[in-house]
Amino acid sequence: MNKHPYLRAYLAGIAVPTVALLLIMSAYTVFRYVYNFPVPVERVIVFPMAVVPNLWGLWNVLFFAWRRRVPVSLGLHGALLPILIGPLGALASALLDFSIPGFPRHVFPILAPVVLILYYFAWKYLVGFLNRVLELA
């Protein structure tokens, strides 16, 4: 299976965040409209729903293209992605005039390393598994 390796790498990359966002948005919809959860994120939800899966796919293509020249593990490569996604999300929220409440800003020093660790494991095990299934690794 040597046809279209970059397309297969892209598809392996977008699979994990697409499923995760589907579950997150289903839970959000239930909380928002069934339990009247008072956090309206409809204005900024386009960023994670459209940009994040595409970034994961392109990041996996980049890993596949550079894996011979830049010897870095898939997990570490994936753990670097939040460093790109974070500023892009902050820029999108600023451009859409969506103020971030005080609580997320206060827990950022604690959550940032947790997010990096979660991305490391998601890339190492989930995206790595999909890369092996698609015969990329």
Q: What is the mean pLDDT of the chain?
A: 86
Quick check: 121 pLDDT over 70? yes
CA distance 81 to 97: 24
Residue carrying structure tokens 């494991």: 121
**Percent share of the chain, pLDDT over 70:** 88
- Cα pseudo-dihedral 122, 128, 130, 133, rounded to 10: -160
- pLDDT in the model for residue 63: 94
Helix, strand and coil in the chain, % to nearest 5: 75, 0, 25
Joined together, the tokens standing for residue 60 give 């996996």
Residues in Cβ contact with 25 at an 8 Å cutoff, skipping those fewer than 6 apart: 45, 49
Segment 22-81, tens digit of pLDDT: 898 888 888 888 888 777 677 667 777 888 999 999 999 999 998 889 889 999 999 999
